[in-house]
């Protein structure tokens, strides 16, 4: 089963567009674990156990583990997800971007050491920085396209001279990911919820690619605007009518709002409540998008 097929199945089976980002900050752990980096696995595993039936993906951010020399805890965490939620894909948020043998080693890190199903990549160095990840045909890769941070405008919205139609950089990335670069149907794009107009533009340019959308929750992205911009459901052929192309999922990520819904002993239950609320908001927005 390919990564996209696993993602579509998880979306269908859990009726969810929610991805929970696993960004463990020991300084925000419940009081009994506050500041204890040895509890990173325990904290994240509790979140996974509390939310696994509500999501279509988990997204651990590698920096929150490597900063505390907790890579082995990340390995344990992904193995734990495999045990308790084998149907849920894991997207390793690493934003790698290098070429040649270095990219090959990063691919080994993501897919063999950690066992992730997909990884986030920076495409700035071109296709040869992406290609090593695509040699594993059952894996996925999400290219940074139009990110949610304000500094993304420094490059991503600049127009490219000498390219037909003078697209912006983020539009060109979307075009390449939908077209020539997507050799095995493995690519997706990262687009920020804080820019819904750009989400809609990326969706128009890349109608069949999964979109990983961070920026709701603590970053302030609007759930309804995000879904209306990126979601394409039954009215666009998702039921699989003859000759139609099934639109790929949108993966709407929330991290801090769910992870730190409570600093007390009920942190996992509070995370579940927040995840349920967000999932239900996404469902409601999908219904509106279908009307």
Catalytic center residues: 95
Cβ–Cβ < 8 Å for 92, 116: yes
Sole residue written with tokens 């929750």: 217
Q: What is the 3-state secondary structure (H, E, C) of 163-202?
A: CCCCCEHHHHHHHHHHCCCCCCCCEEEEECCCCHHHHHHH
Q: What is the CA radius of gyration of the chain?
A: 18
- Intra-chain end-to-end CA distance of the chain, in Å: 32
Q: How far apart are CA 240 and CA 18, in angstroms?
A: 22
C-alpha angle 72/76/78, rounded to 5°? 115
Q: How far apart are CA 54 and CA 266, in angstroms?
A: 18
Among residues 177, 156, 289, which one has the least CA distance to residue 232? 289
- 220 contact partners, CB below 8 Å, separation of at least 6: 194
Q: How far is CA 187 from CA 4, 20, 104, 179, 240, in A?
A: 9, 20, 17, 10, 21
């Amino acid at each position: 089963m390919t990564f996209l097929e696993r993602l579509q199945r998880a979306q269908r089976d859990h009726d969810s567009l929610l991805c929970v980002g696993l960004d463990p900050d020991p300084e925000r752990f419940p009081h009994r674990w506050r500041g204890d980096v040895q509890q990173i696995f325990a904290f994240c595993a509790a979140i996974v156990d509390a939310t696994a039936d509500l999501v279509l993906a988990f997204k651990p951010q590698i920096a929150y583990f490597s900063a505390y020399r907790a890579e082995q805890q990340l390995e344990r965490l992904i193995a734990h997800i495999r045990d308790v939620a084998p149907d849920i894909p894991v997207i390793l948020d690493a934003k790698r971007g290098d070429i040649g043998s270095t990219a090959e080693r990063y691919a080994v890190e993501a897919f063999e050491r950690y066992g992730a199903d997909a990884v986030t990549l920076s495409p700035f160095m071109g296709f040869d920085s992406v290609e090593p990840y695509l040699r594993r045909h059952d894996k996925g890769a999400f290219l940074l396209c139009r990110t949610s941070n304000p500094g993304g405008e420094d490059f991503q919205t600049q127009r490219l001279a000498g390219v037909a139609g003078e697209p912006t950089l983020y539009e060109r990335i979307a075009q390449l990911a939908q077209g020539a670069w997507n050799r095995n149907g493995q690519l997706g794009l990262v687009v920020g919820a804080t820019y819904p107009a750009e989400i809609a533009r990326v969706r128009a340019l890349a109608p069949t690619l999964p979109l990983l959308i961070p920026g709701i929750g603590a970053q302030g992205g609007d759930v309804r605007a995000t879904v209306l911009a990126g979601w394409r459901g039954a009215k666009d052929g998702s039921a699989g009518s003859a000759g139609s192309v099934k639109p790929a999922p949108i993966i709407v990520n929330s991290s801090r709002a769910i992870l730190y819904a409570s600093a007390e002993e009920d942190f996992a239950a509070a995370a579940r409540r927040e995840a349920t609320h967000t999932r239900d908001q996404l469902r409601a927005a999908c219904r509106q998008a279908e009307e």
